[in-house]
Structure 1
Amino acid sequence: MFDLLLLFVAGFLAGSMNALAGGVPSVIANATSTFALFPGGVASSWVYRDGVRDVCGVGVKPIAIATVTGGVTGSVLLLLTPTTTFDVMLPWLLLIATSMLILGPKLGIRLQRVKRSQTAVVLPVQLLLGTYGGYFGGAVGLMMLAAWSLLGGGDIKSLNPTRMVMVTAANAVAVIVFVLAGAIAWQQCLPMIAGALAGGWSGAHLGRRLSAPTVRAITVLVAVLTTVIFFARAYL
């Protein structure tokens, strides 16, 4: 569960880093944050490459195709979304991510008790997850783990390498779409890349020293405060 908390921190920050891109429209800022965090995802995927395996009896290739298709769809939908509309949607997307953090542990226990579903639903579910990843991405990795566990994919530890690679795949095609569309704010992107690398390095060391309950409490607090701030900005 401690690993899940760290995964959520990464996913949540990926979704909310647009707040750092001051003066940039939220759609462009979200695209920029996706690009800024992509190199770290590639590095992690390379480390996990040997552990990638089938999920719920479905091969890696079909899952990857569904993920990539969803990633392209989500990224295009983001670019087609008016900034004012995205500003209204953003707090709700953050609320989904925050809810996954708060309810994740209990949900994971209950999912293990649910009767396993047919593998025929894996690809449609993965398509939706890939679309969410390309559109926003906050906590999409945790959502994948929860969905795969529900569908009988196995234990979280064994699923984690595949999750990392699929999240990166969705981000990869989204990044390509964003670059081709000229949706990256390069001036803001470079400092964000540096900050993401520094934050990942320091966060990893800090995470080793803090207890799991402390990490969870801090993460929940930051998640709730960020969500409240974006709700206030959108509706007040």
Structure 2
Amino acid sequence: MLWVLSAGAVAGVLNALGGGGTFVALPALVAAGVAPVTANASSTVALLPGAAVSAWVYRREVRPVGPVPTAALTAVSAVGGGLGAGLLLALPAASFDAAVPWLLAFATLVLACGRRLARAVDGGPGHAARLSPTAALVGQFLLALYGGYFGGAVGIMMMALWCGGLGIDPAVSNPLRTVQIVAVNSTAALLFLVASDALDTPWLLVALLCGAVAGGFTGAHLARRLSARLLRGTVLTTAATMTALSFLRG
């Protein structure tokens, strides 16, 4: 119980800073004896309140992502999250699990180089290549689908999409990213509570949830005090670490 509680706290902090809490919460549940698919569903349910607490802390700092309306982005995230959760329950996870390290590696590369690549594509310094609102929403839907299905580092992938495609700095987009994580996980968690075995281990679920709430509150306040450069470095370090660990795990 203490192990899972501590993992939840770390996961909540990571999610508030830039994403990646699933890669702490999921192994902790598996180590506690929960089946992998059930652990994935349980971690989504348990980490949702922590993300919601972070979103509440950020509530006055949420800004639109470029030309994309916030309401449309949130609606797409919610629909994609629910569909992704349905896929997790309906399809085998083996093939997707094999692709996860490569998806994380791509997201880390785009996050690290996205702004430079955007300027290069646009043809000169100071000009960021822009995705159209439709293209950005399609990309957000695919990420939400992934988030509902697996969830690992979906927040980092969102930052990579917004940074590379819209030229948005991670520190500026972090509050809205947190809100979108809540939208993705809300519909996914609702489906998991109804159709999965997430409630078969209630005390582990409660321990993870309590830790995530405390970590999400602390992490959100910490992120507000970090400079843009330091927050970007933290997110990149987290992304690179999780990518390496996912390859070792796979």
TM-score (normalised: structure 1): 0.76
Cα deviation, 1:165-191, whole Å, max 9, x if unaligned, reads 011110111111111114314243122
The answer for the alignment partner of 1:89 in structure 2 is 96
The answer for the alignment partner of 2:42 in structure 1 is 32
Q: Cα offset for 1:153?
A: 5.6
Q: Cα offset for 1:96?
A: 2.2
Matched residue SS, 1:51: coil
- 2:15–2:216 CA contact under 8 A, matched in 1: no
The answer for the alignment partner of 1:18 in structure 2 is 26
The answer for the alignment partner of 2:116 in structure 1 is 109
**Structure 1: which 5+ residue stretches go unaligned?**
1-5, 232-236
The answer for the alignment partner of 1:64 in structure 2 is 74
| CA distance in structure 2 between the aligned counterparts of 1:165 and 1:156, rounded to whole angstroms | 14
Check if 1:76 corresponds to 2:92: no
Check if 1:148 corresponds to 2:162: yes
* AA aligned opposite 1:192: L
Q: Cα offset for 1:193?
A: 2.4
User: CA RMSD, aligned part only?
Assistant: 3.5
Q: List structure 1 runs of 4+ shifted beyond 4 angstroms.
A: 6-10, 197-208, 212-219
- Counterparts in 2 of 1:161-180, with a 5 A limit? 161-180=175-194
| CA distance in structure 2 between the aligned counterparts of 1:144 and 1:214, rounded to whole angstroms | 15
Paired positions, count: 222
Q: Cα offset for 1:53?
A: 3.1
Check if 1:126 corresponds to 2:140: yes
| CA distance in structure 2 between the aligned counterparts of 1:63 and 1:202, rounded to whole angstroms | 26
Distance 1:92 1:9, change over 3 A: farther
Q: Cα offset for 1:221?
A: 4.5
| CA distance in structure 2 between the aligned counterparts of 1:225 and 1:128, rounded to whole angstroms | 24
Identity %: 34
- 1:55–1:148 CA contact under 8 A, matched in 2: yes
Q: Which has the higher contact order (CA 8 A, sep 6+)?
A: 2
| CA distance in structure 1 between the aligned counterparts of 2:211 and 2:247, rounded to whole angstroms | 21
- 1:14–1:33 CA contact under 8 A, matched in 2: yes
Q: Cα offset for 1:66?
A: 0.9
Check if 1:189 corresponds to 2:208: no
- 1:74–1:134 CA contact under 8 A, matched in 2: yes
Q: Cα offset for 1:52?
A: 2.4
Matched residue SS, 2:66: coil
Matched residue SS, 2:65: coil
Distance 1:139 1:160, change over 3 A: same
Distance 1:193 1:130, change over 3 A: same
| CA distance in structure 2 between the aligned counterparts of 1:81 and 1:188, rounded to whole angstroms | 25
Q: Cα offset for 1:48?
A: 1.5
- 1:108–1:146 CA contact under 8 A, matched in 2: no
**Structure 2: which 5+ residue stretches go unaligned?**
1-13, 122-128
Distance 1:164 1:113, change over 3 A: farther
Cα deviation, 1:93-141, whole Å, max 9, x if unaligned, reads 1442255336632234323443323222122111111111111122211
